[in-house]
Chain A
Amino acid sequence: MYVIIVGSGRLSRSLAKALLDEEHEVLIIDKDEAKVSAIEEELGSIYLLGDGCEVDVLEEAGTDRADVFIAVTGHDEDNLVACQVAKHKFNVPRTIAQVTDTKNEHLFKMLEVDVTVTSFDIILEHIKREIPIHPLTRLAFFPDTEVEVVELKIPSDAASVNKRIDELSLPSESCVSLIVRSGEDAKIMPSSDFTLQAEDKLVIIARGTQSDLEKNLCDTFTTPEK
């Protein structure tokens, strides 16, 4: 694949390195000469000095043959414009923008940026996993499909304790794909007569709108026994 990355912070350099290791073709575009020379030292001549929002620069970069275009400049408006120019002028099939201010996410989606990544959300999910504010953590979400992968922990007072999976009312399109119980081997795709215990950790794949789905799963697995 040919991947163009606009912006050359640490994130961009690590990403470029990972892609190069997988033998993809990578080009980093940045208008800051000092930052670009840091790339030269670390990764070699895989950069272009220039403004990644300018048509001429993107033309020189061969954007029309890029498979993926990623904008991680640290400035939301520059990321948005770079992706829009890549998409509408050069027909890049997949554009990915970093969004710093989460309030801008819906605008980016509305304006057809294919994927938005907000570091804020990612960090928040990680922290939530480590502190028990909520028994459910979202591990992955695929917006186009409404499919979500969540992890949840069975609280000791939950109604689901000592119940078999097939005794519980799971959301219609969902499956318990992993159960981790301390001191035992993890069970991948447990059978439906598997009996849950307190403190079990479950990974569930399910389809549905996010808020309904998460509420539904919490009702099923974590609601205290009456």
Chain B
Amino acid sequence: MMKVVIVGCGRVGAQLATMLAAENYDVTILDINPHSLSKLVPTFQGTALLGDGTDEDSLRKAGIEGAEAFIALTGEDNHNIMAAQIAKHIFKIPRVICRIYDSQRGEIYQDLGLETVSPTITFVQSFKDKLQQG
């Protein structure tokens, strides 16, 4: 079973964690705010942990050693960037995906070897497509 660690349990994080767990991934989701973890549905089949995604000890507790993928989805670009770089450079996780709202910052880190997703660009494209498709 592929092990995935997700940092940030907002709407996106919680839903992604739930979907992946339902598809039999071994999912651990981490958030510093207990209230955020309550967003997970009761049927969530993974592990939810209170902890800071930029703290190596918290990440170890989340079982990052041995994870095949790491996804950073907190609301703060810089927090995601730092967590993702810890996962990539310290824990050598093979796949690290990082949400960066600021698309220019995203490009820099794409060049530095992170897989980045910019919701800004994705949304703009999707709204534009919708409009133009009528």
Assess whether B89 is in contact with A107, with CB atoms less than 8 Å apart: yes
Q: Which residue of A lies closest to B86 (CB)?
A: A107
Could you list 7 further interchain pairs (A-B, Cβ under 8 angstroms) beyond the known A53-B77, A75-B78, A111-B85?
A53-B105, A54-B105, A76-B54, A81-B78, A81-B81, A81-B105, A85-B108
CB<8 Å pairs between A and B, sample of 22: A53-B78, A53-B105, A54-B102, A55-B104, A55-B108, A76-B54, A76-B82, A77-B54, A77-B79, A77-B81, A77-B82, A80-B78, A80-B81, A80-B82, A80-B85, A85-B105, A88-B111, A89-B108, A103-B55, A107-B85, A110-B89, A110-B90
- Total A-B residue contacts, Cβ distance less than 8 Å: 52
Residue B76 lies at the interface, judged by CB distance under 8 Å to chain A: yes
Residue B56 lies at the interface, judged by CB distance under 8 Å to chain A: yes
Residue B112 lies at the interface, judged by CB distance under 8 Å to chain A: yes
Count of chain B residues with Cβ under 8 Å from any Cβ of A?
Answer: 20
Q: B residues touching A (Cβ–Cβ < 8 Å)? A: 54-56, 76-79, 81-82, 85-86, 89-90, 102, 104-105, 108-109, 111-112
Q: Which residue of B lies closest to A73 (CB)?
A: B78
User: Which of A55, A77, A111 is packed against the most chain B CB atoms within 10 Å?
Assistant: A77
- Nearest CB of A to B39, in Å: 23
Residue A84 lies at the interface, judged by CB distance under 8 Å to chain B: yes
- A77–B104 CA distance with the chains assembled, in angstroms: 17
- A199–B71 CA distance with the chains assembled, in angstroms: 57
Nearest 6 CB-CB pairings of A with B: A55-B104, A77-B82, A77-B78, A81-B78, A78-B78, A77-B79
- A104–B85 CA distance with the chains assembled, in angstroms: 12
Residues on B with C-beta less than 8 A from A89 are 108
Assess whether A107 is in contact with B108, with CB atoms less than 8 Å apart: no
Q: A residues touching B (Cβ–Cβ < 8 Å)? A: 53-56, 75-78, 80-81, 84-85, 88-89, 103-104, 107, 110-111
Assess whether A77 is in contact with B76, with CB atoms less than 8 Å apart: yes
Residues on A with C-beta less than 8 A from B89 are 107, 110-111
User: Which of A53, A81, A104, A107 is packed against the most chain B CB atoms within 10 Å?
Assistant: A81
Q: Which residue of B lies closest to A75 (CB)?
A: B78
- Nearest CB of B to A61, in Å: 15
- A89–B89 CA distance with the chains assembled, in angstroms: 20
- A54–B89 CA distance with the chains assembled, in angstroms: 23
Residues on A with C-beta less than 8 A from B108 are 55, 84-85, 88-89
